Structure 1
Amino acid sequence: MIYGYIRVSTDKQTVENQRFEVNQFCEKNTLVVDKWIEETISGSKSIHERKLGNLLKKMKKEDILICSELSRLGRNLLMIMGILNECMNRDIHVWTIKDNYRLGSDINSKVLAFAFGLSAEIERNLISQRTKEALARKKAEGVILGRPLGRKSAKTKLTGQEKRIKELLDKNVSFSAIGRIIGVHRLTVSSFVKYNQLLQMD
């Protein structure tokens, strides 16, 4: 099957220019688009959030995806390379009009697929390395990384109340009663105690 893919970033843009370009290309090459996929969404959105993602899942070997230019597939090079690499690994053809790319299952396309895949892997490694370096720098500067202790359970509502809560617990006061005394829900108290195990120790 032949699919025509059209994407615009905002509803203020029109899809007609892209549709015209694809139709004109098909007429010159005696082709007919079997199904059109149109969407209004930013190219920076994940492929899984876009109609294009669902389309690629359905496409089969030897199917053809036609769009006006590579930038319609994604906003950045890494995303575009990932899409093209997947298509070529599955023998799905990708044709673009303005860029004049004809990516299929021929040897040139396979070489490109290898280059795309290698480039994507290198980029991922670079991103990972930059992230690790940034975290190491922050740690060296004394920045505390990760979630502060107790943040998840008590959201700092009970910070500073440890002694009072322990005294009440030692008197066998229930979580519900402690909550009423301090002015929080009993689950807040129980969670705070759970994540501050010292309260449960003699």
Structure 2
Amino acid sequence: MIYGYIRVSTDKQTVENQRYEVVEFCKQKEIFVDKWIEETISGTIDLNNRRLGKLIKRMKSGDILICTELSRLGRNLLMIMSILNDCMRRDIRIWTIKDNFRLGDDISSKVLAFAFGLAAEIERNLISQRTKEALARKKAEGVILGRPKGSKSSKKKLTGKEKQIMEMLEAGISYSAIARYMKVHRLTVSSFVKEQNLYVK
């Protein structure tokens, strides 16, 4: 059996991009996905409480799990390594597209799995640190973050915060996190980004 696995951490993230990448990959390899598994959940959630965990438990030797990248499996190195180790032990194959990773029972697979997982975790930590430093710098400069309590006007709620929102987007902060910080609904942030064309290039 060949399984296509798609995970997004919030309901606003589209699954279509991941599905498209997997479908195109399968076309190139002339293979077909027998079953799709999709879930909207953080990769930090315990594997036993995710559809992925239930899937891996019922997969058999020779089955293949295809996803876009290793970070779809989990959001920290130990979780990713635990999943890969279990799959190697049971002869379950994991293929990722962006990482071009092919899990096998050989030393190169184990080394690559460790390297990719470590790199993904380091990148997330760096983004988190840059975000905290950027926000701390803004506060030190006297920039008022978020919408003042009780303020109402004919302007958009986020008018005047374009630069700040752009910096947060570049730092990798999600719409939901920005919304919480700005004390508005995430859809307000999403609409404002579209209207002002604040997408990260």
1:7-49 Cα distance to aligned partner (Å, 9 max, x none): 0000011100000000000000001000000000000000001
Q: State the partner residue of 1:167.
A: none
> How many equivalent residue pairs?
116
- Runs ≥4 residues deviating over 6 A: 113-116
Larger radius of gyration: 1
Judged with a 3 Å threshold, the aligned counterparts in structure 2 of structure 1 residues 113 and 48 are, in CA distance, closer, same or farther, namely: farther
Judged with a 3 Å threshold, the aligned counterparts in structure 2 of structure 1 residues 103 and 13 are, in CA distance, closer, same or farther, namely: same
**Normalized against structure 2, the TM-score is what?**
0.54
| Structure 2 runs not aligned, ≥5 long | 119-201
Judged with a 3 Å threshold, the aligned counterparts in structure 2 of structure 1 residues 90 and 112 are, in CA distance, closer, same or farther, namely: farther
Q: State the partner residue of 2:103.
A: 103
Q: State the partner residue of 1:39.
A: 39
SS in 2 for 1:37: strand
Judged with a 3 Å threshold, the aligned counterparts in structure 2 of structure 1 residues 78 and 34 are, in CA distance, closer, same or farther, namely: same
| Structure 1 runs not aligned, ≥5 long | 120-202
RMSD: 2.1
Judged with a 3 Å threshold, the aligned counterparts in structure 2 of structure 1 residues 115 and 101 are, in CA distance, closer, same or farther, namely: closer
Q: State the partner residue of 1:3.
A: 3
> In the alignment, does 2:87 pair up with 1:87?
yes
What is the alpha-carbon distance in structure 2 between the residues aligned to residue 104 and residue 89 of structure 1?
Answer: 10
Q: Kindly indicate whether the alpha-carbon contact (under 8 Å) linking 1:88 and 1:103 is maintained by their aligned counterparts in 2.
A: yes
**Normalized against structure 1, the TM-score is what?**
0.54
Q: How does 1:1-202 map to 2 (within 5 A)?
A: 1-106=1-106, 108-109=108-109, 111-112=110-111
Paired-residue identity, %: 68
Q: Kindly indicate whether the alpha-carbon contact (under 8 Å) linking 2:77 and 2:114 is maintained by their aligned counterparts in 1.
A: no
Q: Kindly indicate whether the alpha-carbon contact (under 8 Å) linking 1:93 and 1:105 is maintained by their aligned counterparts in 2.
A: no
Q: Kindly indicate whether the alpha-carbon contact (under 8 Å) linking 1:7 and 1:38 is maintained by their aligned counterparts in 2.
A: yes
Q: State the partner residue of 1:189.
A: none
